[in-house]
Amino acid sequence: MALNLSKNDKVVVKKESGQSVLNLTVGAAWGKIDRSAKLKTGIGFADRLLNRAKSSAGMLEAVDLDLTIVTFDAAGNELEECAFYSKTPFNGLIKHSGDDRGGDDEDDGLDNERIQFQGLKIATQTKVQSAFIILNSYSHQKFDEIPFVRLGIYDGLYGLADKAARLLEFDLTHEKQFDGSEALILARLDKSSAGWELTAIGQATADTSIREIKSRIKREHL
Ligand SMILES: [Ca+2]
């Protein structure tokens, strides 16, 4: 199942079996910006060759998006976060695949960053009560400037190269409602007796740093 979200939709996401989610992986995929887009031929293979030539000529602009999970205890106190600068919080129970600072030259269908969330152990070994999945544009290009931006949540733990079935798919590409934004609160995870309740949020914001997004989460979601 791939659920498509609109801005500010709130949807509780379940596994196909109807159960809550235990272990999961979040992924983000995006591309470099071609500022000379008017040169496109409109012919698939010719554009790919052109893109390759532009890439080797350094004509494509790097885009540094960052996928992050921030966590809070039951009283709303901030706990550890998983980000490119903190890849293995809680002794690696949440794990970041590493910082991608460029994006794809051409869409390869794979994620550029992923975070694995060992929900079963996090529920029993940490004080995490809620976790928020966020994406922001470190290099401050807006989402509508980037040729494609896709987010996915997968049932289970997967590395960058692993193919997996998505519980949730969120495609920002060509979505007018995200124009001008450079940060997104994708979803929240709340610990329940049955596992993690996954609620898609899809909130675009004008925040320009993780710190600002965290303040917004505390103000608006906790
Ligand atoms: Ca990055």
Q: What is the per-residue pLDDT for 40? A: 63
Max mean pLDDT range (10-19, 143-152, 191-200)? 143-152
For residue 197, what are the β-bridge partners? 190
Alpha-carbon distance of 3 to 76, in angstroms, equals 28
For residue 4, the model assigns a pLDDT of 64
- CA distance linking residue 204 with residue 184, whole number of Å: 4
Q: How confident is the model over 90-139, as pLDDT tens digits?
A: 999 999 999 999 999 999 999 999 999 999 999 999 999 999 999 999 99
Cα gap 18→14, rounded to integer Å = 5
pTM, entire model: 0.89
Provide the residues around ligand 1 (an ion) whose CB is within 5 A: 64, 66, 99-100
Q: Which residue in this structure is represented by tokens 């992924």? A: 27
- Nearest-CA neighbor of 206 among 103, 136, 132, 133? 136
Distance from residue 43's CA to the centre of ligand 1 (Å): 30
Residue 101 Cα, ligand 1 centroid: separation in angstroms? Answer: 5
Question: Tens digits of per-residue pLDDT, 1-47?
Answer: 456 666 556 667 777 787 778 899 999 999 999 887 556 666 777 77
Interval between CA 189 and ligand 1 midpoint (Å): 22
Delimit the domains of the chain by residue range.
Answer: 3-34+41-220
Tell me which CATH homologous superfamily contains domain 3-34+41-220: sav2460 like domains (2.60.60.30)
pLDDT value at position 72? Answer: 98
The alpha carbon of 19 and the centre of ligand 1 are apart by a number of angstroms equal to 32
pLDDT for 208: 94
Number of residues written out for the chain: 222
